Structure 1
């Protein structure tokens, strides 16, 4: 049974957890991503691995560390406007998890420049 497909979750992996948890061909790109705190979408389960998507990248990981969270309102690549200034269109670049509040937080770019401000669901409007 493929119970994780179409779920959203966290994969709080550190190198100390063991490289065996990550598919060998994906280990270097997963390390570069620094997955801790990022919100992934599980798009498939294949040969004992979950296939996690983050933006345009996919990674195969064992399910051991995967923790399901509520789906974010927006996905990476979505265009959004700011609630307090809806004249500018931005693009979701990153989705991370706010551990204390247990909600997704977004980092966006406007005109190709990434903003340092973190935004939450109530701060953004889908375009």
Structure 2
């Protein structure tokens, strides 16, 4: 395998903390990978991403979610794409494959606990420790402007308002 010679160093972060930030997969997934979901983070460990894509990714030019869906695969790499159309090649045996999110971006939802709110799914974030998604919703704010509510919701805190 290869490593990235110019990979930025995370100052003051112990190696074990970096590894915990993007852990090794618990099991080695086997293909086909097409249609599966993967999560990436700001830290790109060795052997995770194609060097050309890693450089672009680490420069911070990636917009949109850190949740990607596999759109193509070959012998060595799986191409994954996020909600903004950003594509990168990843090692399919090193990336963290996650279950399909319960809700789609823009889907109409209602909260089921606390103050009842209705809105649309604004973002989906993988919770590494809990190993499940959190969701942020866009709601009506003052003067009918849309705002992203600051509370995160688990899937069981939401219900779809469309049938």
Q: 1:38 aligns with which of 66, 78, 81?
A: 66
Unaligned runs of 5+ in 1: none
Aligned to 1:115: 149
Larger Rg: 1 or 2? 2
Aligned to 2:88: 60
Query: Please, what TM-score do these two structures have when normalized by structure 1?
Result: 0.72
Of structures 1 and 2, the one scoring higher in RCO (CA 8 A, sep 6+) is 1
Summarize the alignment of residues 1-40 of structure 1 with structure 2, pairs less than 5 Å apart.
3-14=32-43, 20=51, 22=53, 27=56, 31-33=60-62, 38-40=66-68
CA separation of 1:76 and 1:30: change in aligned 2, threshold 3 A: farther
Aligned length: 123
CA contact (8 A) 2:125 2:134 kept: yes
Deviation at 1:28, TM superposition (A): 6.1
Q: Which has the larger share of helix?
A: 1
What secondary structure does 2:119 align onto? strand
Query: Please, what TM-score do these two structures have when normalized by structure 2?
Result: 0.58
CA separation of 1:23 and 1:14: change in aligned 2, threshold 3 A: closer
Q: Which has the larger share of strand?
A: 1
Separation of aligned partners in 2, 1:89 and 1:19 = 41
Aligned to 2:160: 126
Q: CA RMSD in A?
A: 3.4
Unaligned runs of 5+ in 2: 1-29, 141-145
CA contact (8 A) 2:63 2:84 kept: no
What secondary structure does 1:31 align onto? coil
